Amino acid sequence: MNRLAFVAVGSIACVTIESLLREIGLATPLLAFYVFAVAYAVSRGWAVFSGCLFGASLDFLFGHAFPFSAILLPLLAFPGEWFRVRHMDSLLVQSLPGLLIPLYAVLPRLILFFSSLENFSILILSCASGIVLLPLIVFATERLARWLRLDAEAEGASA
Amino acid sequence: MLQKEFRKDDLRRILIWSLLCVAALILIVAGFFSFQRTFLRFSMDFYYPFLKGARDAENYAAKRLLMTKSRAELADAVERLQMENARLAVLAARTTELEAETAEQRGLLGMRAPEAFTPVFAEVLLRDPANWSFRFTIDRGSDDGIAPGDVVTTYYVPGPNAEPTIAVVGRVAETSRKSAVVMTILDPECSLSVRMAESGMHGTLSGIGDRKAARVSRLPTDGLYAIGEMALTSGFSPRTPRGFCVGYLNPASPGDSQAAKISDSGQYAEASLRPAAPLDRLRAVMVLSRRPPQ
């Protein structure tokens, strides 16, 4: 129950902020970063849940005809978990998925809607923001989950 | 022997996981399309307070910024608005008079009264950079009388010394209680019946996925279509009011003196249309609703 609340509150905040950022022209995939962070800090299952449910709500909010986010975001749970298992906790290493996740989450929509290359500045901006934001979100989520005893290690101990 | 069993188990696990992934994918897509409308309404209403709160804070800050202006500037603005109000009051009185006259003549000719539309003013709440020119969400919904298919317009000034006018933005695609998704005339799913202002010919406007132009198809081949000719709403559909500016015709091809070309089938002419409304920088829109607010 605590994990559900933790994941839901974080996801709702991410969807809201991401929507507001999109409204000013920034396509920063905050929910995608959060899904990755949940897989890293809490568990893969909760990350899939968050990506699926809140990814769909993001699609509905923007009136997408196809559920891009609901399909693409849950898959981020797997690299997130892989980073945890391999103990890749250096901020520098985590900035690499920060660069790649926007490519994965934003590029399909850009390819579908735009025919010219001029709008790829949107993608460059979101990749640049990802390098900084992903390590920060992972760090904050992990600290918060550990403080609330909701992290993956606590789950293993309780089991 | 052990290695062989391990490989077999491994293979089985991979197969099960792959099947589960495919099943999950099918479930997500099927669920999305089956419950799209219900989830869309729930989702839009759920996030509405958060998004509207942010927009209200922005509007409040903009209003507070007005306080930084001098009293003389504010007095000038008030004076200008009073003059504008007086001008509009005269125009409104004239329109009411014409409306009564038209109703009387329609009555004499036995024609039924035209559809009445209620304007609903709304602010743009959400926009996705990936489909910026095609769709956006507004902060008014079915509680305000908005329904899917209603025409969305905006107020704009065509040039530096030109009179302000109203242009069509698109149609309402989906509604929730508090908000609505609007598809612009550039969206491939949006279509609208139009009438050419000079030639008087009718055609069908639809988006082609281009961010700068839409296509007017099914135009009669014997018409003369000038570059820059204005397209207006035809009013054929009871949901669409008549005579609102939609856009202007582009040249059929670069350097061409004609605006229309014969379609591939040879039965109709088609033309490219530049939207009149500034679709990329909309902030406020007006939805023409046929239903009174609940």
How far is C-alpha A96 from the chain's CA centre?
A: 14
Which of A25, A60, A114 lies at the smallest CB-CB distance from B40?
Answer: A60
The answer to whether A17 faces chain B, any CB pair under 8 Å, is: no
pLDDT at B94 over 50: yes
The answer to whether A19 faces chain B, any CB pair under 8 Å, is: yes
Residue B144: CA atoms inside 13 Å, Cβ hemisphere, count? 21
* B185-221 residue pLDDT tens: 999 888 899 999 888 899 999 998 888 899 999 998 8
The answer to whether A78 faces chain B, any CB pair under 8 Å, is: no
ipTM of this complex prediction, to 2 decimal places: 0.81
What is the Cα–Cα distance from B44 to B179, expressed in whole angstroms? Answer: 7
Output the average pLDDT for chain A: 83
Q: Specify the amino acid at residue A94.
A: Q
pLDDT of residue A159: 42
3-state secondary structure at position A154 = helix
Which of B36, B126, B211 lies at the smallest CB-CB distance from A61?
Answer: B126
- Interface-testing mutation among A11, A62, A119, with chain B (most B C-beta atoms within 10 A): A62
Output the average pLDDT for chain B: 86
Best CA proximity match to B229, nearest among B200, B206, B268, B207: B200
**pTM of the entire structure?**
0.80
Work out the pLDDT band at A25, boundaries 50, 70, 90: confident
pLDDT of residue B120: 92
Of the two residues A89 and A35, the one the predictor is more confident about is A35
pLDDT of residue B294: 54
The answer to whether B45 faces chain A, any CB pair under 8 Å, is: no
* A105-148 residue pLDDT tens: 887 777 776 655 556 778 888 888 889 998 899 889 888 888 88
